[in-house]
Amino acid sequence: MRREVVVSLLVLCFIGSDVVQEGEGIWLNVPPSKNKCVSEEIQNNVVVLADYVVIYDDPAHVTPTISVKVTSPYGNDLHHQENATHGQFAFTAHEAGNYLACFSVDGSNPGGGDVSVNLEWRTGIAAKDWESVARKEKIEGVELELRKLEGAVEAIHENLLYLRTREAEMRTVSERTNGRVAWWSIMSLGICIVVSALQLWHLKRFFQKKKLI
Amino acid sequence: MGLWGLRHAVAMAALCLVLLRSRGTEGLRLWIEEGEECFSQGVKYEGDSFHVSFVVIKDNSPWHHSANADGIDLVIKGPSGEQILDFRDRKSLTISFMAPSKGIYHLCFINKSPYHESIYFDVHVGHLKSLKPSEQHLQDAHVTPLMEQIAKLEEALDNIVFEQHWLKAETHRQAIVNDGMSRRAIPKAVIESVALVGASVLQVYLLQRLFNRKLGASVLKV
C-alpha cells in the first residue's frame, strides 16, 4: 500500500512539474524589426542561468527563429546564437555591472507579428543546482529544504549589506553637495558684491571725470 | 521496513514540494520604447497572489528632464483579456493582488514620451499565501505539515526578495538624482557668477553710453 502511495506521489510530482514548467519565466514580445533587450545589474561571482524558448501557437507555419546576444558590462560577448528556437546559457559574472541580453527576430517569420519568447532568468541563489548539492552531500528532505532557506536568507542578508553601502555612498554624496552648494553660493554672492562695488567706483570716477559730481 | 518506507515517502514529498513550488520572480531591467509594450506572466492556480513592481530610472541627461517628468502607464490584463488594473503616469509602483483566475496575465506598459524609458521591473507569483483554499491544498494533505510550513517560509522569503529588489531600484534612482545634483552644483555657481559679472559690465557700458550721449548733446546745445 505504501509503495502505491509513493508511486502515485511520484507520478503526481512529474505531472505537476510539467505544469510548473509552463508558468515559469516571463514572456517577451519581440517586434519583427527591433531588438528587445533585457538587463540586470549583477555583482561579482554570481552565477546566472537563463533559458529561452520561442512560443508559437500556429502549427501550420514554421516556427519563427530569433537571435540572442548576451554581453558583459565591458562589452565582451558571453553568448551568441542565431536562428534559434530555444536554448540556454549560463555564466559566472566576473565583472560587476549591467549584463545585457538582446533578442531579435531573424530568418523566417511568417505571419509578421511579434514573436513571443519565454525567458527564464535566474541569478545567484535561484540558479543554484540543489539536486547536485543534495547528491554530493547526501542530504534530503527537511535538511535540504532548510539548506535552501539558509541560502535564501544569506542572499537577502547580502542584498541588505549592499543596500547599506549604497545608502552610505549616497549620504556622502549628499553631504558633499551640501558643502559645495553652501561654499560656492557664498562665492557667487561675494562676486556679486565685489562687482557691484567695482561698478559704483567706476561710475563715480566716470562722473567725476565728466565734471558732473 | 516501516521506518524506511516513511523516510522514502518524506523524501518523495520533499521532491514533490521542490518541483511544485512556483518561484516566478524575475528582477529585470527593461527598455520600453515609445508606445505600448507587453509582457506576460503565467499564473498556475486561481487565488494566487500576484505581485508586480517597477521603478522608472531616469537617464541622467538634463535635456530629457521635462519629457521624463511624467512616468509610464501600466495596464494589467487577465487571461481572457479583461482589464484588471490600470495605473497612469507612475514613476514607481508596487502592487499585489489576488489573481481571479489561472492563466496568462499580460502586463502592458505604455510610454507616452518620445524617448525610451528604462525601468527596473519585477513580478512574483506566490501560491501558498493565497486566501482561497484550492484543490491544491487538499492534495498537499499528503505532505507533512512540517514541509508545508517550510514552503510557507520559503514563500515569505521570496516576498522579501521581491521587496528588496524594489528598494534597490528606488535607491538607484535616488542615487542618480543625487549624483546629478552634486555634479551640477559647481558649474551652476560658476555660470551664475559669470552671468552676474556680464550683467554688471553691460550695465556700466550702457550707463556710460547714455551719459556720454546726453552730455554730448547738452554741450552741443550750449
Tens digit of pLDDT for each residue in A24-46? 678 888 888 778 888 888 888 88
CA of B28 vs chain A CAs: smallest distance (Å): 5
Q: Which of B130-139, B160-169, B196-205 has the lowest mean pLDDT?
A: B130-139
Are B200 and A199 an interchain contact pair (Cβ–Cβ within 8 Å)?
Answer: yes
Phi, psi of B43 (to 5 degrees): -125, 125
How confident is the model at residue B3, as a pLDDT? 55
Is the CB of residue B217 less than 8 Å away from at least one CB of chain A? no
How confident is the model at residue B218, as a pLDDT? 75
Residues in a beta bridge with B118:
B31, B57
Say yes or no to pLDDT of A130 above 60.
yes
CA of A17 vs chain B CAs: smallest distance (Å): 5
pLDDT digits 0-9 by tens, B10-40: 444 444 443 334 355 567 888 777 788 888 8
Mind giving me the DSSP string for A76-102?
-EEEEEEEESEEEEEEE--S-EEEEEE
Q: Mean pLDDT in chain A?
A: 81
User: In terms of pLDDT, which residue wins out, B143 or B56?
Assistant: B56
Q: What band does B129 get if pLDDT is binned at 50, 70 and 90? A: low
Phi, psi of A200 (to 5 degrees): -60, -45
Q: Which residues of A touch B171 (CB under 8 A)?
A: 163, 166-167, 170
**SS3 label, residue B128:** coil
Phi, psi of B218 (to 5 degrees): -65, -35
Say yes or no to pLDDT of A10 above 80.
no
- Going by C-alpha positions, the residue among B25, B19, B35, B180 that lies closest to residue A114 is B35
Q: Which residues contact B219 (CB under 8 A, 6 or more apart)?
A: none
ipTM over 0.90: no
Q: Mean pLDDT in chain B?
A: 78
Cell numbers that stand for B168 in this block: 534597490
- Going by C-alpha positions, the residue among A91, A50, A85, A68 that lies closest to residue B28 is A50
Q: Which residues contact B145 (CB under 8 A, 6 or more apart)?
A: none
Say yes or no to pLDDT of A17 above 50.
no
Say yes or no to pLDDT of B70 above 80.
no
CA of B64 vs chain A CAs: smallest distance (Å): 21
- Going by C-alpha positions, the residue among B42, B27, B38, B121 that lies closest to residue A29 is B38
Q: What is the mean predicted confidence (pLDDT) over A110-133?
A: 81
Residue B148 near residue B133 (C-beta atoms within 8 A)? no
- Going by C-alpha positions, the residue among A158, A134, A162 that lies closest to residue A148 is A134
Displacement of CA A105 from its chain's centroid (Å) = 22
Residue B140 near residue B148 (C-beta atoms within 8 A)? yes
Q: What is the CA radius of gyration of chain B?
A: 31
Write the CA distances from B178 to A166, B58, B60, B83, B182, integer angstroms.
Answer: 12, 12, 10, 37, 6
- Residues, chain A, total? 213
Is the CB of residue B154 less than 8 Å away from at least one CB of chain A? yes
Q: What band does B196 get if pLDDT is binned at 50, 70 and 90? A: very high
Say yes or no to pLDDT of B88 above 70.
yes
H/E stretch holding A197 reads helix A142-209
Q: Which residues of A touch B213 (CB under 8 A)?
A: none
Q: Which of A35-39, A158-162, B83-87, B171-175 has the lowest mean pLDDT?
A: A35-39
H/E stretch holding B109 reads strand B103-111
Q: Which of A29-38, A191-200, B169-178, B203-212 has the lowest mean pLDDT?
A: A29-38
Q: What is the mean predicted confidence (pLDDT) over B175-194?
A: 91
Enter the pTM of the model: 0.74
Say yes or no to pLDDT of A146 above 80.
yes
Phi, psi of B51 (to 5 degrees): -115, 130
Nearest-10 Cα torsion for B58, B62, B63, B69:
50
Nearest-by-CA chain A residue for B193:
A188
Interface of B with A in 68-97 (CB under 8 A): none
Phi, psi of A129 (to 5 degrees): -90, 95
Cell numbers that stand for B90 in this block: 507612475
CA of B176 vs chain A CAs: smallest distance (Å): 9
Q: Which of B29, B123, B139 sits opposite A26 (nearest CB)?
A: B123
Say yes or no to pLDDT of A172 above 90.
yes
How confident is the model at residue A125, as a pLDDT? 80
- Going by C-alpha positions, the residue among A20, A173, A40, A136 that lies closest to residue B182 is A173
Chain A interface, best mutation among B1, B6, B31, by max A CB count within 10 A: B31
Cα(B101)–Cα(B44) distance, rounded to whole angstroms? Answer: 9
Residue A8 near residue A76 (C-beta atoms within 8 A)? no
Q: What band does A4 get if pLDDT is binned at 50, 70 and 90? A: low
- Going by C-alpha positions, the residue among B54, B127, B50, B40 that lies closest to residue B94 is B54
Q: Which residues of A touch B208 (CB under 8 A)?
A: 203, 206
Say yes or no to pLDDT of A167 above 90.
yes
